[in-house]
Structure 1
């Protein structure tokens, strides 16, 4: 049976943009703002709108809120820290206060790091204080529209949620797509937006010495460090290597950068759970890694995976960037537009791959004894993700759909053309794409393709137009995660602190549109910027480069 959710709007807030009875009238319109996706961006949007006096609900398709920030990505990717403000910085300040005396200044080294359960608790506290309704395990089923506006969305259990404004804060952009908003998946070609990093991008060999690979400590070790054969002795391609013909440099395609799990680990024996053997274990997946280890017999665990320190005697694993690490190259392509069954299969395949890698390094006899011992000195954390076998619940969906909105952020916008007249946030992270695939070179060796990590030169502004669709496509939807950007620019924008900044802006913009009885495309951007500045959002730094022209 279908259920219609209808409530009265909360009383107008003293900090509201302008007084308008439309937010407080007893209308059968449901919620002022419906946020689909309990990610950090969605939570920030909901809190921002609630603080402006709006009635808000967060609908989360999974069992968990907090997205990657509470799901394993515990070392926040900030780039230029001075660009992070508003609700985003408030979250990190509150999480950090759980470790530090509030009267003291936290060290920058720790301020942006928190254990997953601390992040989850902090998000929940902020949601509760704002009196925001939350429902979980409610994946989207359908969207109802009238003209160019969303009227309601219905979840898989048949419940319908009506709203005046909507925010799609999912990593996949499912609401945006169901609402008929134009989007893209994959990589643009180099000529489409004039981006030097766009499209097909095979990497050159990046030689590493035996001494470097055997050195202790942690560091990202990007690329292919030596000549590795693409085929085994019998002439069979190693798992994870493709011998398809190479297109021209800069050619666009529908491939998606690699996903992974950001696993939380420890060496504290009192809190250590041994790495599990996966449900589906395929040791042949790691045959190419054996070839790498043979060439670097003293290789250390923190060269194969990147280990980042977090509080609580714990660390976080990320892919090291090496030709073989925790990123599942080629495993994500069908995920963005996949149905529920397809995504579930890909999710489990990633679990099997990453768990399999850790199990392989600790147990396969082809791995040197010292490396096996080093690997097994680590394990999962007993006090994290206890209801999920101590394994992170969130697959790191680095990129999925990207809206084609009123302004498409490009490589140039993160480098030289870094100011925007309608700025609603700033960014300072590098242009960063994880690799897509392993290819066979003309000489028969393996190389990596699709990775880049290039400085953004200086902090850059993000246009309000990039989180709004074209008006004829949808007039009451904001998209702060799958925002309008090329693949190259998205590599700089896709960081959790920035997502929260974008979500903060989306929440205030939604309320502004309600109060003005306007489309999100037609609100007073100067007034929006004033409200954001009052809420300590960072919109500009000096000096700045030339602004790109608004349409």
Structure 2
């Protein structure tokens, strides 16, 4: 049934210089711009360049164009909407206008496809589908042509690699990497192998009463909610669980999990039952079953994420510990040949379809959950030429170029301003599960995912979308740009890719007109044209909070606080060291945050407390200061902003003894509204 399903199959062993052998005798086709990859970034580049008068061809290896936006990802990941302008905002407005009462950013896949098709036609962009890269010719540091599987040669003055995988940049010999850097390589706290702790929570996590270790807390997108034995009755590891290789912070070649974003509905008039996949294997879902059995009445909407889009349709995505993500299933995909990629794509189809079929049909699944699952189904009017299944495998992370500037964790949290900005990002650092591993106690936990790593709105430099000039001077890379794994986890959103596609298209047109290398395009002129086209390159009131290592005295940030209960990290406001925590206005009386400092000498210190103020904060937050004379208690009105360094309030001045820890503990007992904690500062008083 899914005879044209397998996305983005490419021949990777073809790379190089001068490999035009096997091309047909058909005359070469010449264009100002050749775009490889009909993703949203590629289409944005092509349309933008064509509007500037360039001749453009977009070559897409699969049957369909539009990548994830037309292939199932309809509940658009936005970050801060004010960071999105120019081509992506124009496009999403166009898609929403195709059907009445469609919310901006959340059009149906068919509307997204129609919008792209109309914009391509209006701009006069030639589109070639079902043709993968066969050979590439490069001379004197420039790509001169590429040959597709049918033997057609496409000559170009500038090329754009808009693939999710980075196939053209790899074939062109441009420096790149894949997988995860070590924590030491760029000094990124989140980098490398990153086991997640088991986070025992109760009803608020799964929406039900929990048989696991108790407690209450907010719903968590990632993380293990309870202890589950990693082995079956035979002593062997359950399907999908592996032994950890390496230690926390180490580099490896693994990427976050792929899946399918499935368009589903409860509308009886268009609902199609979830299919039973070929070669269905219930044993693949034993870990899911054990998770379900740990809760009394888990809901379907806690096992998958249901993002509402237009007209009674929903974008079904992964969330939580066991969902439609397939950790480890993508190993070998990026470097694999066409057959390998096809096999991995098929395996992902079977895995995701099997999970939905399992939830609706396995007799061990509670009847209530089975019945709820079966109120959902595929949409009869979507992907009608593909069995109603989405086109695109969600390649969340591919190769990454290594250029003159590599964006890292600092660039999305603190070093956010760039003189050569050509776009903005703002999404949290969102990494899905990389692998499921056995913990020391024999239970299973996920590894590689983050749930509380905020990002500030940040500028993306032109230097990160162009290669090193000595390696290639006529290539632009808006998707697999020069960024670390951690930075990519925030950058990897379709509106960001489209904004960088727009910048790439304009730069290509300017390089052609000026007959210059893409590295020599005038960035101020490029920025001026982008602003003319309403692209967002900066935000007028964007500010950073202070860095703890630049403040006087002794400062303990919330990153080093001792928490009890479930606190949520946030980048709201201008916090110290990029983030603060809050109690999610839940679990009142159950949560504390304790800040402990080793003071350099005994003496008298003023103690200051930082938090992110807002109207919905608690008006009377209890804070205890442990000092040489005992314990002092004060109440802080977090609705009011701090006065010192714009974030701190004074808790008072106290004496502290030598060799005794100084501490401040914040509680959410008896509070109404959100309780925020950011940092505590001890300032010596003379």
TM-score normalised by the chain length of structure 2: 0.73
Any idea what the Cα deviations from partners look like across 1:105-135, whole Å, max 9, x if unmatched?
x8xxx21101000000000000000011001
Q: Judging changes above 3 Å, is the alpha-carbon distance between structure 1 residues 496 and 219 closer, same or farther for their aligned structure 2 residues?
A: farther
Aligned equivalents of 1:494 and 1:360: distance in 2?
31
Residue 251 of structure 2 is aligned to residue 229 of structure 1 = no
| 2:112 counterpart (112, 119, 129) | 119
The ranges of structure 1 where at least 4 consecutive aligned residues each deviate by more than 3 angstroms after the TM superposition are 3-7, 218-221, 453-457, 543-546
Give secondary structure in 1 for the equivalent of 2:385. Answer: helix
Aligned equivalents of 1:211 and 1:469: distance in 2?
47
Q: Which residue of 2 aligns with 1:25?
A: none
Give secondary structure in 1 for the equivalent of 2:33. Answer: strand
- Structure with higher Rg: it is 2
Residue 241 of structure 2 is aligned to residue 248 of structure 1 = no
Aligned equivalents of 2:513 and 2:452: distance in 1?
42
Counterpart contact for 1:335–1:400, Cα < 8 Å = no
Q: Which residue of 2 aligns with 1:382?
A: 380
Counterpart contact for 2:222–2:451, Cα < 8 Å = no
Q: Which residue of 2 aligns with 1:471?
A: 469
Give secondary structure in 1 for the equivalent of 2:70. Answer: coil
Residue 158 of structure 2 is aligned to residue 159 of structure 1 = no
Matches within 5 A, 1:140-219: 140-210=133-203, 212-215=205-208
Higher helix share: 1
Matches within 5 A, 1:215-364: 215=208, 221-245=221-245, 247-320=246-319, 322-364=320-362
Any idea what the Cα deviations from partners look like across 1:23-53, whole Å, max 9, x if unmatched?
xxxxxxx100000111000000001101111
Give secondary structure in 1 for the equivalent of 2:57. Answer: strand
Aligned equivalents of 2:205 and 2:464: distance in 1?
43
Give secondary structure in 2 for the equivalent of 1:388. Answer: coil
Counterpart contact for 2:222–2:450, Cα < 8 Å = no
Aligned equivalents of 1:478 and 1:3: distance in 2?
29
Give secondary structure in 2 for the equivalent of 1:117. Answer: helix
Q: CA RMSD in A?
A: 1.6
- How far the C-alpha of 1:160 sits from its partner, in A, is 0.6
Aligned equivalents of 2:274 and 2:175: distance in 1?
42
Residue 536 of structure 2 is aligned to residue 538 of structure 1 = yes
Q: Which stretch of structure 1 is more off in the superposition, 91-100 or 334-343?
A: 91-100
Q: Which residue of 2 aligns with 1:16?
A: none
Counterpart contact for 1:39–1:67, Cα < 8 Å = yes
Residue 492 of structure 2 is aligned to residue 499 of structure 1 = no
- How far the C-alpha of 1:457 sits from its partner, in A, is 4.2
Any idea what the Cα deviations from partners look like across 1:365-414, whole Å, max 9, x if unmatched?
11011111110110000000011110001000000100011210111000
Matches within 5 A, 1:474-485: 474-485=472-483
Aligned equivalents of 2:28 and 2:136: distance in 1?
17
Give secondary structure in 2 for the equivalent of 1:38. Answer: coil
Q: Which residue of 1 aligns with 2:80?
A: 80
Aligned equivalents of 1:485 and 1:4: distance in 2?
39
| 2:518 counterpart (514, 517, 520) | 520
Residue 87 of structure 2 is aligned to residue 94 of structure 1 = no
Counterpart contact for 2:204–2:219, Cα < 8 Å = no
Counterpart contact for 1:204–1:447, Cα < 8 Å = yes
Q: Judging changes above 3 Å, is the alpha-carbon distance between structure 1 residues 457 and 172 closer, same or farther for their aligned structure 2 residues?
A: closer
Q: Please, which runs of 5 or more residues in structure 1 have no aligned partner?
A: 8-29, 547-551
Counterpart contact for 2:208–2:296, Cα < 8 Å = no
Give secondary structure in 2 for the equivalent of 1:284. Answer: helix
Aligned equivalents of 1:327 and 1:452: distance in 2?
14
Q: Which stretch of structure 1 is more off in the superposition, 330-339 or 459-468?
A: 330-339
Q: Which stretch of structure 1 is more off in the superposition, 116-125 or 224-233?
A: 224-233
Q: Which residue of 2 aligns with 1:13?
A: none
Counterpart contact for 2:455–2:490, Cα < 8 Å = no
Counterpart contact for 2:257–2:432, Cα < 8 Å = yes
| 1:442 counterpart (433, 440, 443) | 440
Q: Which residue of 2 aligns with 1:134?
A: 127
Give secondary structure in 2 for the equivalent of 1:431. Answer: coil
Aligned equivalents of 1:475 and 1:205: distance in 2?
48
Aligned equivalents of 1:4 and 1:508: distance in 2?
30
Counterpart contact for 2:429–2:455, Cα < 8 Å = no
Aligned equivalents of 2:91 and 2:208: distance in 1?
36
Counterpart contact for 1:31–1:56, Cα < 8 Å = yes
Q: Judging changes above 3 Å, is the alpha-carbon distance between structure 1 residues 112 and 3 closer, same or farther for their aligned structure 2 residues?
A: farther
Q: Which stretch of structure 1 is more off in the superposition, 453-462 or 471-480?
A: 453-462
- How far the C-alpha of 1:297 sits from its partner, in A, is 2.8
Any idea what the Cα deviations from partners look like across 1:406-444, whole Å, max 9, x if unmatched?
210111000110010110001111111111111111111
Give secondary structure in 2 for the equivalent of 1:69. Answer: helix
Aligned equivalents of 2:227 and 2:100: distance in 1?
48
- How far the C-alpha of 1:97 sits from its partner, in A, is 1.6
Q: Judging changes above 3 Å, is the alpha-carbon distance between structure 1 residues 91 and 215 closer, same or farther for their aligned structure 2 residues?
A: farther
Aligned equivalents of 1:403 and 1:206: distance in 2?
35
Q: Which residue of 2 aligns with 1:11?
A: none
Aligned equivalents of 1:309 and 1:462: distance in 2?
30
Q: Which residue of 2 aligns with 1:2?
A: 24
- How far the C-alpha of 1:541 sits from its partner, in A, is 0.7
Counterpart contact for 2:318–2:325, Cα < 8 Å = yes
Aligned equivalents of 1:457 and 1:186: distance in 2?
21
- How far the C-alpha of 1:211 sits from its partner, in A, is 6.4
Any idea what the Cα deviations from partners look like across 1:191-240, whole Å, max 9, x if unmatched?
10010110010011112215652459x96542111110011222121111
Counterpart contact for 2:221–2:451, Cα < 8 Å = no
Aligned equivalents of 1:399 and 1:510: distance in 2?
25
